Each structure stands twice: as structure tokens, then as C-alpha cells.
Structure 1
Amino acid sequence: MAVGTKRNEHPISMRLPEADIAMIDRAAGLRGRSRTDFVRDAAVRAAEDVLMENRLIRMSPGSFADFMAVLSEPETPVPEMVELAKRPAPWEPGYVAK
């Protein structure tokens, strides 16, 4: 008699228009992934984004006051960021790839 094993994976079934499947297959192919892997990764990433957007951050009143004090301080320019912001964009004249 075969010993049953508990599966850690569960199937999900969706009905999608042919155009959506074609787009998913094209994108998956560009990434070198199967449709299943591509859709699973996209769905998990979207779920993580939603959960992170709605995550509650708890802190004590003192920690919150410290946090607000840091946010209220004048900003300090980061020289590398200033230089980066001054560079021309790739579509602008004068752009030089680094």
C-alpha cells in the first residue's frame, strides 16, 4: 500500500481571455519562466505589496516623538544624490553612459 504524502501546494484555477494569456506567456518567455512560475511570482509580489501597505507599525509615545523630531529636522543634501539629479537623462542631449 502506498503511503500518502501531504501536499504543500494547492491549485488555483482562473478563466482569462486569450489576449491576457498571450501577454502573460510573452512576458514569461522574456523572463525565461513558465506561465505558472510567472503568474505565481506576480501574484505573490502583489499580495506582499498590499500587506506591506497595510502593515501596522507600533511604537511608544516617546519613540514616536523621536521619529517626528527626526522628520522635522532640516534636510541634509547627499552629494551623490545631488550629482545624480543633475545628470542628463538617457533621452536628453549630453547623456553619457557611465
Structure 2
Amino acid sequence: MPRVIKRKEHPLSMRLPETDIAIIDRAATLRGRSRTDFVRDAAVRAAEDVLMETAPIRMSPAGFKAFVEVLSKPARPVPEMVELFQRAAPWESRNAKAEK
């Protein structure tokens, strides 16, 4: 007797303009993915973002108090960030500064 295998996938169909398909196909090719894999991953990522934006954050009253205390303290400089912001931007060349 043949075994019945339950299909785990559910079809999803969309009608898209040719220009959208061209963009999706180009991006999928650049990533080395199929159109289906590319669209599925993008849709799942977008759905996860929405769910994370709306998910409530729960914590105990003591945990919330500790959280607020940390946020209420004065900010401390992060040496790596200070150094980063003091660097010239990659598009700012020495020649551009000399011309000013």
C-alpha cells in the first residue's frame, strides 16, 4: 500500500507587473537565488519585522525600574564611536579639502 505524504507547502499566487518581476528576478540572480526563494525570504522578513514592531515587551516591575534607571543615567561616550565620528567620510578626499 503506498504511503500518503502530506504536503507541507501551500501555494501563494500573485499578479505582478512585468517591471516588478524584472526587478525581483535581477535581485534574485544577484543573490544566486530562485525567484521563489527570494520572494519568500523577503516576505517572511517583512512579516517578522511587522510582528516585532507590534509585539509587547513584558517585564517585571523590578525589571522595568532597573531599565528606567539605566536610561535615566547620563550618557557615556563610547571611545570607538567618538573616533569614528572624528574620521573624515570616505567620500571626503584630501584634495577636496585642499580646494576649499
TM-score by structure 1 length?
0.89
Greater helix percent: which structure? 2
- How far apart in 2 are the matches of 1:75 and 1:31? 40
Which residue identity does 2:68 align to in structure 1?
M
Give, in angstroms, the shift of residue 2 of structure 1.
2.5
Which residue identity does 1:57 align to in structure 2?
I
Task: Give unpaired runs (5+ residues) of structure 1.
Answer: none
Q: How many residues get paired?
A: 94
* More RCO (CA 8 Å, sep 6+): 2
TM-score by structure 2 length?
0.87
Give every structure 1 segment of 4 or more consecutive aligned residues whose post-TM-superposition deviation is greater than 4 Å: none
Map 1:1-98 → 2, pairs under 5 A:
1-94=1-94
Report the equivalent of 2:97: none
- How far apart in 1 are the matches of 2:74 and 2:60? 24
Encode CA deviations 1:57-97: one digit per residue, 9 max, x unaligned: 11122211111110000111110111112222221224xxx
Task: Give unpaired runs (5+ residues) of structure 2.
Answer: 95-100
- Give the superposed CA RMSD: 1.1
- How far apart in 1 are the matches of 2:20 and 2:92? 35
- How far apart in 2 are the matches of 1:31 and 1:23? 13
SS for the counterpart of 2:16 is coil
Q: Percent identity, aligned pairs only? A: 72
Which residue identity does 1:93 align to in structure 2?
S
- How far apart in 2 are the matches of 1:91 and 1:48? 35
